[in-house]
Structure 1
Amino acid sequence: MSTWPDTRILDLLGIEVPIIQAPMAGATTTAMVIAANEAGALGSMPAAALSIEQLREALTTIRQAGTRPINVNFFCHQPPAPDEARDTRWKALLEPYYRELGADFDAPTPVSNRAPFNDDACRVVEEFRPEVVSFHFGLPEKSLLDRVKATGAKVLSSATTVEEALWLEQHGCDAIIAMGFEAGGHRGMFLSDDINSQIGLFALLPQVVDAVSVPVIAAGGIADARGIVAAFALGASAVQIGTAYLFTPQATVTASHHHALRHAQASETALTNLFTGRPARGIVNRVMRELGAINPAAPAFPKAGGALMPLKTRDEAGFSNLWAGQAVRLGKDISTCALTRELAEQALAKLQ
């Protein structure tokens, strides 16, 4: 696969095909990362939902499977200040569901947490020296970023606006992921919290490409070879694909998520803050319909999910996040390795 029209990402990251398997917390497994690597793409391990011990175990498994480059992804948000009044109002809004489903409303609220990149996580990077380290919600503080760069890792992060892309380049990113409005999971937005200003990929991508000098990776709504070709036509050097990999047997998704992925219509995804407190795209379910996908009562990220946990155990489909992007209808049941190879071969053929 040496005839891609733009090989900057291949050269920068040491991969064979310009595809990055998106790091999807909770759904990505070590088997998915290994299989994506075997097909010549960049396998990505999400760390946000893992303890330090779990991350070490995952990276040990991946490293034992081969020597290809890997990406480890971290959130770098600022933990919110305590706000008991907001937490109380949020749980009160959910009380009718507790009563209906027989959950104990008076029991202590479970803790929903996502650890930001910190000294402990940085020590794991220094220990395993992944070839690529990517971030969501901007970049960590300079002292931590300098330590990451000292390992030799290439640094990526997501931009949802041109302004964010410029900020990331100015602060040391080696390549930028242009994340369109279509993308599933959490928006990478970090300079603004106004979701009304978010941009679709095909408008965002060429503007980011024109604005920065580093290579740009396209993400959002890409799930087949046509999307890859279109991204290259707009100046991308590679693509990051997430939702399509949720259909593979290497993904870990709940039974409800599995069913929703295969039956939702393309128009049935929406941005929601109900499950974590930050806007993220998922398949619309009961709680999103009844409370509104974006509800100002939801506590700040990542605390919103705690009060939903007892409801999820009783109605998984209605109260759990079903992350997916707008290209959900393009997904098909195929293995991670086969999907990656098929996407690369078909896209390359169209680009000739």
Structure 2
Amino acid sequence: MQSMSSAPNGLPRYPIVQAPMAGGASCPPLAAAVCEAGGLGFLAGGYKTADGMYQEIKQLRGLTRRPFGVNLFLPQTGYVDPAAVEAYRGQLAGEASWYEVSLAEEDIIGTCDDGYEAKLAILLEDPVPVVSFAFGCPAPTVIARLRAAGTHTVITVTSVDEARAAQEAGADALCVQGVEAGGHQGTFRDDPQTDGTAAVGLLTLVAQVREAVALPITASGGLMRGAQIAAVLAAGAEAAQLGTAFLVCPESGAHPLHKKALTDPLFGHTELTRAFTGRPARGLVNRFMREHGPYAPSAYPQIHHMTSGLRKAAAAAGDPQGMSLWAGQGHRLARALPAGELVEVLAAELAEAQSALKVLQMRRAS
């Protein structure tokens, strides 16, 4: 069975993947530091222009010769109720007045494809070692073209059904995302009848997917320590993907207020919310989430674009209560280490946990 570590152009030393975090956190310096330390660094293609993505790829190639990945968002084709979007615009009028910004009009999202075709064309013309996808599964022809170009494809899944669909489409591997994960749930479709709470925890989901499909698994969701990586490897994964753990690294492009909030006692826990983007995403609970989460419709990326100016204004004003502070459930375990050092620490913790398990097994066998 082909594993994640069989990505072209070399083998990552450790089964540690730095998650692609759209919005600026997964910048070239962070991805390069992870790659150089023996992990697999990722760039986030989401919310960038095609040229912006290409420029970051060029920058990353100038920083490392090791394999890396790029993540793309699938185009969103589901129905969005315009009346619900406008009602939420009214709900946010007070926020716009407070931060002295205008709410983006719906015309700005006349397209919901995030420049997908243009980005895909770049990745086919100038291939990268790994491309992962979120919010859906690309067509089998797309996967086949990427494979022909020498690219390893990974599909983010949050259920057994999605895993089976990815396998049928010809994916090389899966990123299995548990409900503990920070940021957006990478579901193929956002069910307007739920807020994401029906999603499954990571260890259970890895076990379910492992029995359902024959693809390599990268496990993602709430992982912050090497012992947790050991746990998902024991459960059947080939690698572990960590996002929140890398957010506080000095190389991360996350806003300083976001980094500080991860370990600030003022922000006690995380919840899933549609408040900022119109799609379930896990973040630290703040004023904006509490006040607007109950009213936010299922409308992605419409709500993302509508609130973009608000979130930027809140950050500029030094107000974390109006920002989208994406974080996984393990955020309090964040360590502000240089990314390369964090990879080495995680690898050492993983080795220690695996050695301890072997000793325990030997004692029980004797």
TM-score between the two structures when normalised by the length of structure 2: 0.86
Q: 1:263 to 1:67 in 2, by over 3 A?
A: same
SS at match of 1:321: coil
After TM superposition, give the deviation of residue 89 of structure 1 in Å.
Answer: 1.1
Q: Is the 8 A contact 1:119 1:144 kept in 2?
A: no
For 2:212 and 2:267, how far apart are their aligned partners in 1? 31
After TM superposition, give the deviation of residue 282 of structure 1 in Å.
Answer: 0.7
Match of residue 346 from structure 2:
343
Q: 1:220 to 1:299 in 2, by over 3 A?
A: closer
Match of residue 63 from structure 2:
65
Alignment of 1:16 onto 2:19: no
Q: Deviations over 1:257-280 (max 9, x none)?
A: 122112157851111111111111
Match of residue 136 from structure 2:
138
SS at match of 1:271: strand
Q: Is the 8 A contact 2:34 2:41 kept in 1?
A: yes
**Alignment length (residue pairs):** 344
- The CA RMSD measured in Å over matched residues stands at 2.4
Match of residue 287 from structure 1:
288
Match of residue 169 from structure 1:
167
After TM superposition, give the deviation of residue 91 of structure 1 in Å.
Answer: 1.0
Identity of aligned residues (%): 32
For 1:276 and 1:136, how far apart are their aligned partners in 2? 15
Alignment of 1:57-136 (within 5 A): 57-79=55-77, 83-103=81-101, 111=108, 115-116=113-114, 118-136=116-134
SS at match of 1:315: helix
After TM superposition, give the deviation of residue 83 of structure 1 in Å.
Answer: 5.0
Match of residue 250 from structure 2:
249
Match of residue 197 from structure 1:
198
Q: 1:191 to 1:220 in 2, by over 3 A?
A: same
What letter corresponds to residue 273 of structure 1 in structure 2? R
SS at match of 2:218: strand
What letter corresponds to residue 17 of structure 1 in structure 2? Y
For 1:32 and 1:114, how far apart are their aligned partners in 2? 28
Match of residue 52 from structure 2:
54
Match of residue 208 from structure 2:
207
Alignment of 1:35 onto 2:51: no
Match of residue 298 from structure 1:
297
* Structure 1 unmatched runs, 5+: 1-5
Q: Is the 8 A contact 1:218 1:231 kept in 2?
A: yes
What letter corresponds to residue 22 of structure 1 in structure 2? A
TM-score between the two structures when normalised by the length of structure 1: 0.90
Q: 1:268 to 1:145 in 2, by over 3 A?
A: same
What letter corresponds to residue 291 of structure 2 in structure 1? E
Q: 1:182 aligns with which of 177, 180, 183?
A: 180
Q: Deviations over 1:208-245 (max 9, x none)?
A: 11111111111101111111111112111110010000
Match of residue 3 from structure 1:
none
* Structure 2 unmatched runs, 5+: 356-366
Match of residue 237 from structure 1:
238
What letter corresponds to residue 205 of structure 1 in structure 2? V
